[in-house]
Structure 1
């Protein structure tokens, strides 16, 4: 998501036992219902308005996002119709460049995971863009509670990192998901609105990403204006000559 704003965000993740049933339904049943609605696709093409803001600035750009399921994601960021940045993400690599400073990054998820302080991989990014849970909920243990918002699943297996997911009570779609590391004083919260139903599945047309750190708060909002499935897509990407490489330490 940081790539969409030509900046990098700090992200973050929670907690142990089996959950009792909550009002006649168990955490396992809520999770199973969520995956009954999983999107079925081979490719996705998205056009989106993007708004980035922090304590220092606010930027409005457009983004073109192409996804080939489980293989690659290409993000092109434009301002006034001019491509300002591009990112190519695959299961084994992350690469992006931005024109303003003439810089680029090439690497895998290892450095980004260490820098963010939580595990990051291709699946999490793909899921976040399409309104699906960061993690495979069927592989974890979760406590279940209910509120006016919906069903809340709290991860019971992580230690110093905390994860929670709020799902709609009727459609079991993700309304929000949060990953927090209290000791590092940082958290990322992603919330979704305005789900639209396609034959391939239901996708949120509005996404708000909020990151909280000791040095301040950052927001990135996506408003999808075009979304199509299963078209033949191309993924052109090459780093311009003369750009300076960025290293993550």
Structure 2
């Protein structure tokens, strides 16, 4: 497998499935009942976004695609609105390193000796997807993305808040925890094209440094049409929101 799909995954994010999708109800609080009002729900989701200045995390990661299956340990560092840094190691050896800034993307595949340095606009033009730093950052923090004020609102069978939307180009669907207002599942489908993205958040827990609960499990499944499909399972084992943190990118 070439780096194209790996780059697409890095810009779109990582995932964890294999577990029940559940929000973070940690104090026995019961979900509210009654009529749902979209404007109020969107305000509450926004009020419960996580936005730390720094993040320093370690996670177990498994990538499964048509041409590549690999697992290892991912080290993730984030400086809000400035940079996202990732390094993937297996048996103590680094296999790949990525650095993403608001206007650029760098990826070094040490195993194959390949290096990519491109503006984020290149990813967007090549794959026809919204490759934006702020969206990737929101997903790392466990926040909902692509929310608009013209969504339809209802309740899922399990009580989750269900939001759906449809435009000429995209169809979107969200499942939101009715107590914490944190996203359980986000799905984006490009209409007329064979491309889709889903992000599942699981295993929410309280972590010092943020008032919102944080999803330790992620599932991002990418169907890139002709570029192929891939999914990545990620389980955060260590998470800190203190900083600053270093983001080295030497090619050695």
How many residue pairs get matched?
Answer: 225
Alpha-carbon separation, structure 2, partners of 1:89 and 1:7: 11
CA 1:102–1:181 in 2, change beyond 3 Å: closer, same or farther? same
**1:145 and 2:154 are equivalent in the alignment:** yes
- Residue 16 of structure 1 is matched in structure 2 by none
Matches within 5 A, 1:1-249: 6=6, 8-9=8-9, 23-135=34-146, 137=147, 140-149=149-158, 150-156=160-166, 158-199=167-208, 200=210, 201-214=212-225, 217-240=229-252
Q: Deviations over 1:113-152 (max 9, x none)?
A: 12222212111111111211123x3x54211121124112
Contact 2:7–2:107 under 8 Å retained in 1: no
Larger deviation, residues 214-223 vs 69-78: 214-223
Contact 1:6 1:98 in 2 (8 A): no
The offset of 1:232, in angstroms, is 2.4
- What are the Cα deviations for residues 60-94 of structure 1, in whole angstroms up to 9, with x where unaligned? 11100000111111101111111111111111111
Q: CA deviation at 1:159?
A: 1.7
Query: 1:123, 1:134 within 8 Å by CA — same for their partners in 2?
Result: no
C-alpha contact (below 8 Å) 1:48/1:62 kept by paired residues: yes
TM-score, normalised by the number of residues in structure 1: 0.82
Q: Give the Cα–Cα distance (whole angstroms) in 2 for the partners of residues 62 and 191 of structure 1.
A: 20
Unaligned runs of 5+ in 2: 13-32
Unaligned runs of 5+ in 1: 12-21, 241-249
Please report how far the alpha carbon of residue 57 of structure 1 lies from its aligned counterpart in structure 2 after TM superposition. Answer: 4.0
What is the CA–CA distance in structure 1 between the aligned matches of 2:7 and 2:79, rounded to whole Å?
24
**8 A contact 1:87–1:94 mirrored in 2:** yes
TM-score for the superposition, normalised by structure 2: 0.81
CA distance in 1, matches of 2:100, 2:224: 25
